[in-house]
Amino acid sequence: MYQPINLAEKLARFQDHWAPRVIAEMNDYQFKLVKLEGEFVWHAHEDTDEAFLVLRGEMEIAFRDGAVTLRAGELFVVPKGREHITRATAECQALILEPRGVVNTGDAGGNLTAAQDAWI
């Protein structure tokens, strides 16, 4: 009944990139694992911040006026309403923390929009 969530075990259960998987909820927030490789789409989340914690690898979060690079063990919070794009030259594994119901492509939509509440 009381079991920890093993992140490595959960990450081993899927291979696709840009398709976050929910692993836990806390109040109205979801913890999502994601694998990133290549470039995502420019988008914004008008109503919420979005936190990225890199577990393995390296990623970049770019804004129209600059960028931040995150490596394993580093966290960054994208402020709500800020247009951004995520990139990873090699596979990066990250944990995302955001409110339930947030669409990964924000206001952009498109073919990289992930299924909502995809649990693993």
Give, in order, the Cα–Cα distances in Å from 75 to each of 14, 25, 69.
23, 19, 10
In this predicted structure, the answer to whether residue 27 has a pLDDT above a threshold of 90 is yes
Query: What does residue 30 show for φ and ψ, rounded to 5 degrees?
Result: -115, 145
Q: Which of 2, 6, 21, 5 is nearest to 118 (CA)?
A: 21
**What average pLDDT does the segment 7-28 reach?**
97
pLDDT tens for 48-105 read 999 999 999 999 999 999 999 999 999 999 999 999 999 999 999 999 999 999 989 8
In this predicted structure, the answer to whether residue 117 has a pLDDT above a threshold of 80 is no
Strand, helix or coil for residue 10: helix
Give 34's contacts (C-beta < 8 A, 6+ positions apart): 17, 18, 19, 20, 21, 93, 94, 95, 96
Q: Which domains occur in the chain, in start order?
A: 17-99 (2.60.120.10)
The CA dihedral of 110, 90, 81, 50, to the nearest 10 degrees, is: 110
Q: Looking at residue 107, what is its pLDDT?
A: 87
